[in-house]
Chain A
Amino acid sequence: MRVHPRYTQKAALALLGGATLLTVAVLVFIIFFVLEKGLPVLSLSFLFTNPQDMGRAGGILPTLIGTVALPVLALAIATPLGVGTAVYLTEYTRESGLTKVIRFGTDCLAGIPSIIFGLFGFIFFVTVLRLGWSILSGGLTLAFMVLPTIIRTSEEAIKAVPASYREVSFSLGATRWQTVRKVILPNALPGIVTGVMLGIGRSIGETAAVIFTAGSSLRMPHSVFDSVRTMSVHFYILAREGISNQNAYGTAAALIIAVLAVNLTAYWLMNRFIARRS
């Protein structure tokens, strides 16, 4: 039996529309659920005062610092490494067995569960290098975790720069490095920024790898060698140990708003960048 295309068309529309609706609905539900429970707790004094009694009372200031410090440190390390690797792979080597192996390696690295990174960071940075539970150990571990994302998105962004730009640049007597600096990187920047933002998003919410490497101290850190607790770890401990569900949701709401802010900033930056160049 043959169904008239008009009906298959309608069915496809309903199915695809339904899938989209479901996706958006889940997202809205999660955000709404967390904000509904968390927003009443959230206030400036909650964000900017120290916790008391294990987090049962008081605010979340040290975890706010931890949530900012770890991704900033991680990205400060991973961005130059990752972009440099991507430039090397795309501009300085020809496609060969070796580049395929490197690429396969980065893909595998991206698929490793974060808790394994945590374990590695614990053994290598915390124990072997004696950095202890610290912002430094956590930042280094997160850097390795987000490195594959940055390499791959930067690589795609660099490959998307038209080959004709390279040709012209070389034909005008520019060296490869001048071409990279003046033509390739500026044109690949929106894609690279996307990769960095994805990296921030991934590291800001990371819990398993952070507990293992940055620890969970609720005290205010004074240097990168101090242990710190991030918001996601704080949320995990508050909820898991039944310390305060209310403050757990308050922390979760702050975390969600932070991630949202990161994404919005990324969009804003990219649009500004694109508008300026065209």
Chain B
Amino acid sequence: MTESAKVDIQGLDLFYGRFQALKSVTMAVRERKITALIGPSGCGKSTLLRCLNRMNDLIAGAKVRGRVLLDGRDVYRPGADVDELRKRVGMVFQRPNPFPLSIFDNVVYGMRVAGTHNRGRLREAAESSLRGAWLWDQAKDRLDRSALALPLDQQQRLCIARLLAVEPEVILMDEPCSALDPIATGKIEELMLDLKERYTIAIVTHNMQQAARVSDFSGYMLLGEMVEYGSTGKLFTRPEKKLTEDYISGRFG
């Protein structure tokens, strides 16, 4: 099982001050698959996701114990390069959050930060990233217009393009559709299925149909614990734990 694990989470505890938000979580995120984290609000699924690219470092008082192995190396090891980690493990956020810059400047932000300033290479990467996020046709004639003028779902796809330009290996999505209507959500889901050909994806979602539609593996979390983890088909049809069954059948949550 571990051989195809891109990210291997082993006995992960996380404390916000004295509150324990994650309790000995163990889980694998498989390469070129979509792994969904489901569970009620406050169960720790977003926290878990944010351990994979160490975004929790930004929160005062957050302490981590346990291991998160990316390709076999602990991302929390002493001396680990966090900026480098975040280039390999990118993130799409709940609300579309383009910078108040042009579409082009948004897409190439991460590349410029990484030191690429060659105009030709930036343009090439912008095109392939926007194509990868299915936004090229809508955006190609207005690359120097403000990204904020785009409709919400295109903004979210721009955020995905901005991420693809950094050439990540893993994409974390934290409820990427919660600000979108059902049609836009459908488009993003299709895009996710397309992206998993090349990327490893982990997604947090409140929407259980979404988890069932797009993911290959699912983990159900409750009160900071991983209650059950397995293939999505099995988790949604023949859950092993009573707690999982209660949640997915809508009796709770």
Contact = CB atoms under 8 A, between A and B. Distances in A.
Contacts of A169: 109, 113
Given A170-B55, A172-B86, A173-B83, A164 B113 contact: no
Contacts of B55: 167, 170-171
A182 B109 contact: yes
Contacts of A170: 55, 58, 86
A160 B95 CA distance: 18
A278 B109 contact: no
B110 A164 contact: no
A278 to B, nearest CB: 6
Contacts of B80: none
Closest 7 CB pairs of A and B: A173-B87, A172-B110, A171-B91, A164-B97, A174-B113, A173-B86, A173-B83
Nearest to A166: B58
A263 to B, nearest CB: 26
Interface residues of B, number: 27
Interface in B157-177: 159, 162-163, 166
Instruction: Point out which of B58, B162, B166 has the most chain A C-beta atoms below 10 A from its C-beta.
Output: B58
Contact of B90 (A172, A183, A278): A172
A99 interface: no
B146 interface: yes
A182 B112 CA distance: 10
Interface string B206-232: 000000000000000000000000000
Interface in A79-132: 94-95
Interface of B: 53, 55, 58, 60, 83-84, 86-87, 90-91, 93, 95, 97, 99-101, 109-110, 112-114, 146, 148, 159, 162-163, 166
B86 A171 contact: yes
A94 B61 CA distance: 10
A277 B100 contact: yes
Contacts of A183: 99
Nearest to A187: B100
Contacts of A32: none
> Looking at chain A's contact residues, is the secondary structure mostly helix, strand, loop, or mixed?
helix
Given A172-B113, A173-B83, A175-B113, 8 more contacts: A167-B93, A169-B109, A170-B58, A171-B93, A172-B110, A172-B162, A172-B166, A174-B113
Interface in A55-87: none
B53 A174 contact: no
A278 B146 contact: yes
Nearest to A183: B99
A191 to B, nearest CB: 14
B60 A94 contact: yes
20 contacts: A94-B60, A95-B60, A164-B93, A164-B97, A167-B55, A167-B93, A167-B97, A168-B93, A169-B109, A170-B55, A170-B86, A171-B55, A172-B87, A172-B109, A172-B113, A172-B166, A173-B87, A173-B113, A174-B113, A278-B148
